């Protein structure tokens, strides 16, 4: 039953991706290699689409990945799989905080995992780059775009649109 | 009963809108939430919102979803939490499913292929920028660098990310437990 597998796999990601949507990228790469629902290259394109459409990037990627696996129902199942554990955990925490309003420490118990989250985002970036960067020129271009983003801090969609134009002109 | 329905509709109005207008990761949601919940409706103070955000960052799952669930619960209970979460994801879910459906038809289109060559470069740069931006809030002490390097090293060496995250969450919970929660 593929929908059950899909739900369980995304439930696992939802449970373990502490630190937000970008942390799910390496988990999705794991999925691509163990199930063949989509290729590493396709995943990179999914990240691009998820960055440039409205909504939280983690939710968008789960919907897209589920869709690539088994169609529209797959997209919905994957999204709900991803959301279920975090909704349950937040409900439990919110209830606890109502009774112990000053015990924020408990709610941020996993704060110490933040460096791990950062490492996994970093790893995700390396993985994405590895799927298509084959020349120094490409690497240099990434560096230039990085400096632009860092300097001007505009919305990601603006940079993605610039990428589309550049790709169409010089690609 | 009437009051409860009104509250739920309010949550739908707020989080559906945020779902339509936020782009990127959880941090993109903060200014929208500040405007809606702090400035306009005065449900929360800025400090409370930052607390919610910090909880969303250090619990499993997508940060924006966690903040929506949390806000919904505090405003209208369990039903409120579920309503806010569903309202947030409805628009993105529909957009992605439509777009994915369309892109499947055009994967071989030369223009789409060219466009994605440019897009991929931007995506890697965006991820690198996110790492830079999160660095100062995630790496605060020397031991954080050690944890960061250890986790990255394990990932590069081929340890599955599921294992890595489970391991460090386990260690984090044990240490937190030993120190006592209070």
Model confidence at B92: pLDDT above 90: yes
Average pLDDT over residues A77-102: 90
* Nearest residue to A44 (alpha-carbon basis) of A125, A118, A113: A125
Residue B182 has pLDDT above 90, yes or no: no
pLDDT recorded at residue B26: 67
A154: chain B residues, CB-CB within 8 Å: none
Q: ipTM of this predicted complex?
A: 0.88
Backbone φ/ψ region at B158: left (φ over 0), alpha (ψ -120 to 50), beta: left
What would the pLDDT profile of B109-141 be if each residue is shown by its tens digit? 899 889 888 989 999 999 999 899 888 888 888
DSSP-assigned letter for residue B141:
S
Contacts of B83 in chain A (CB under 8 A): none
Chain B, 102 to 141: residues with Cβ < 8 Å from chain A are 103, 111, 113-132, 134-135, 137-139
The CA-atom distances, in angstroms, between B94 and each of A59, A72, A144, B75, B105 are 12, 10, 34, 26, 17
Q: Which 3 state secondary structure label does DSSP give A118?
A: helix
Average pLDDT over residues B159-168: 92
Provide the residue ranges of all domains of chain A, joining segments of one domain with +.
2-132, 134-171
Query: A with B: how many residue pairs have Cβ under 8 Å apart?
Result: 358
B163–A contact, CB cutoff 8 A: no
pLDDT confidence tier of residue B107, bands split at 50, 70 and 90: confident
Residues 36-65 of B with CB under 8 A from A: 51, 54-65
pLDDT of residue B106: 84
pLDDT above 60 for B181:
no
- State whether residue B168 sits within 8 Å of chain A by CB: yes
Report yes or no: A79 at the B interface, CB cutoff 8 Å: yes
Average pLDDT estimate for B20-31:
78
Q: What is the mean pLDDT of residues B8-31?
A: 86
Residue A71: the pLDDT is 93
Per-domain residue ranges of chain B = 1-106
């Amino acid at each position: 039953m593929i929908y059950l597998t899909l739900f369980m796999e995304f439930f696992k990601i939802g449970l373990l991706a502490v630190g937000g949507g970008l942390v799910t990228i390496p988990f999705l790469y794991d999925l691509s290699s163990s199930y063949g629902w989509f290729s590493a290259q396709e995943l990179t394109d999914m990240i691009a689409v998820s960055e440039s459409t409205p909504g939280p990037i983690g939710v968008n990627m789960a919907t897209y990945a589920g869709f690539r696996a088994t169609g529209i129902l797959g997209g919905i199942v994957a999204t709900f799989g991803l959301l279920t554990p975090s909704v349950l955990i937040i409900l439990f925490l919110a209830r606890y905080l109502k009774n112990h309003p000053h015990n924020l420490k408990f709610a941020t118990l996993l704060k110490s995992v933040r460096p791990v989250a950062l490492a996994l985002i970093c790893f995700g970036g390396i993985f994405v780059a590895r799927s298509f960067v084959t020349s120094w020129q490409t690497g240099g271009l990434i560096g230039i775009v990085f400096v632009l983003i860092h300097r001007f801090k505009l919305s990601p969609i603006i940079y993605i649109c610039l990428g589309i134009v550049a790709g169409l002109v010089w690609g | 009963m009437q009051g409860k329905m009104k509250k739920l509709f309010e949550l739908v109005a707020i989080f559906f809108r945020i779902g339509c207008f936020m782009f990127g990761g959880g941090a993109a949601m903060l200014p929208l939430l500040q405007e809606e919940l702090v400035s306009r409706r005065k449900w929360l103070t800025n400090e409370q919102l930052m607390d919610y955000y910090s909880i969303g960052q250090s619990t499993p799952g997508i940060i924006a979803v966690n903040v929506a669930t949390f806000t919904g619960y505090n405003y209208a209970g369990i039903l409120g939490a579920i309503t806010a979460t569903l309202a947030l994801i409805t628009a993105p879910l529909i957009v992605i499913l439509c777009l994915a459906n369309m892109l499947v038809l055009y994967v071989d289109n030369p223009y789409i292929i060219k466009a994605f060559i440019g897009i991929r470069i931007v995506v890697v740069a965006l991820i690198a920028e996110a790492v830079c931006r999160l660095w100062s809030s995630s790496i605060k002490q020397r031991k954080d660098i050690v944890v960061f390097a250890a986790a990255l090293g394990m990932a590069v060496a081929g340890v599955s990310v599921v294992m890595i995250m489970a391991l460090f969450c386990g260690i984090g919970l044990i240490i937190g437990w030993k120190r006592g929660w209070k």
